[in-house]
């Protein structure tokens, strides 16, 4: 995990550039959503008030680098080049070693990329502050589960390279799908209720971003708030289990590319 942190800490300019991009897009998203709110019935689109929406956007922008839903192609690249052979020579299963490195990445993201957008949001917009004491621990737990879920999904998307050799297709699909269905482009609560419920129960994607944000802005009652986190936990366990099954299956048919 520490090595994962160190590896990301090496690229300081990338960290600064990433934060800057997150902030610019934060402004864009925030103004669009506030414009939507201005035109919505009672100024509450999807059940969020203006402060909740602004919090949703800016904390979401900060969380992007923590859950890291995009941009991880290391496993697929190593499968394609055959370097995966080196990973298999370690006394640790690949799912465990990649997860440890990813937790290091998430810790680095939390310490360097989370606060920037949140502080900017706080400076320029009125943000909502939680009223219930349990929201804070629940939010931290929810972010942790989002990191695990995001890792599980990305591992599975990358692992398609075991069969396809090149995972660029699934990765493009993932980038597009995860952005929309994790609630990054707009809160999923803006969709019809039946679709929202289906997405939450049938896919892990809302758990990658929308759930921690909904928990933080206290969009739901305490019971539903806890229930959403429980659902996230179920998905996280399921995804990690699936990742290890897929990895074991892949090892049986593995062809190491390039000699």
Residues at the site binding another protein, with contacts judged by CB under 8 A: 2-3, 6-7, 10-11, 82-83, 85-86, 88-93, 97, 251-256, 258-259
Between 111 and 140, whose beta carbon lies closer to another protein?
A: 111
Between 132 and 249, whose beta carbon lies closer to another protein?
A: 249
Between 85 and 190, whose beta carbon lies closer to another protein?
A: 85
- Smallest distance, another protein to C-beta of residue 72, A: 14
- Smallest distance, another protein to C-beta of residue 95, A: 12
Between 50 and 254, whose beta carbon lies closer to another protein?
A: 254
- Smallest distance, another protein to C-beta of residue 139, A: 31
Instruction: Quote the tokens at residue 201.
Output: 């129960």
Between 210 and 247, whose beta carbon lies closer to another protein?
A: 247
- 203 Rama sector, left if φ>0, alpha if ψ -120 to 50, beta otherwise: beta
- Smallest distance, another protein to C-beta of residue 198, A: 38
- Smallest distance, another protein to C-beta of residue 2, A: 8
d(CA 208, CA 152): 11
Between 6 and 132, whose beta carbon lies closer to another protein?
A: 6
- Smallest distance, another protein to C-beta of residue 251, A: 7
- Smallest distance, another protein to C-beta of residue 89, A: 5
Between 104 and 121, whose beta carbon lies closer to another protein?
A: 104
Instruction: Please choose, from the candidates 208, 43, 31, the residue with its C-alpha nearest in 3D space to the C-alpha of residue 121.
Output: 31
């Amino acid at each position: 995990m520490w090595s994962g942190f160190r590896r990301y800490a090496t690229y300081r300019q990338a960290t600064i550039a990433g934060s800057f991009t997150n902030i610019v897009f934060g402004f864009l998203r925030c103004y669009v959503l506030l414009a939507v709110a201005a035109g919505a019935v009672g100024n509450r689109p999807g059940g969020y008030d203006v402060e909740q929406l602004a919090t949703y956007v800016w904390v979401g922008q900060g969380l992007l680098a923590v859950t890291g839903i995009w941009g991880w192609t290391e496993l697929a690249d190593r499968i394609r080049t055959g370097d995966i052979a080196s990973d298999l020579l370690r006394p640790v299963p690949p799912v465990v070693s990649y997860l440890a490195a990813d937790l290091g990445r998430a810790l680095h993201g939390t310490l360097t990329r989370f606060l920037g957008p949140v502080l900017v949001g706080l400076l320029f917009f009125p943000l909502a502050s939680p009223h219930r004491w349990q929201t804070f621990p629940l939010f931290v737990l929810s972010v942790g589960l989002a990191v695990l879920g995001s890792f599980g999904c990305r591992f599975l998307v990358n692992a398609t390279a075991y069969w396809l050799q090149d995972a660029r297709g699934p990765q493009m699909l993932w980038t597009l799908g995860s952005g929309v269905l994790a609630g990054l482009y707009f809160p999923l609560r803006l969709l019809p209720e039946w679709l929202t419920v289906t997405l939450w129960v049938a896919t892990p994607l809302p758990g990658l971003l929308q759930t921690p944000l909904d928990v933080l802005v206290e969009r739901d009652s305490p019971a539903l708030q806890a229930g959403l986190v429980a659902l996230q936990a179920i998905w996280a366990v399921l995804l990690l289990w699936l990742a290890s099954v897929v990895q074991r299956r892949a090892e049986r048919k593995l062809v190491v590319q390039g000699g």
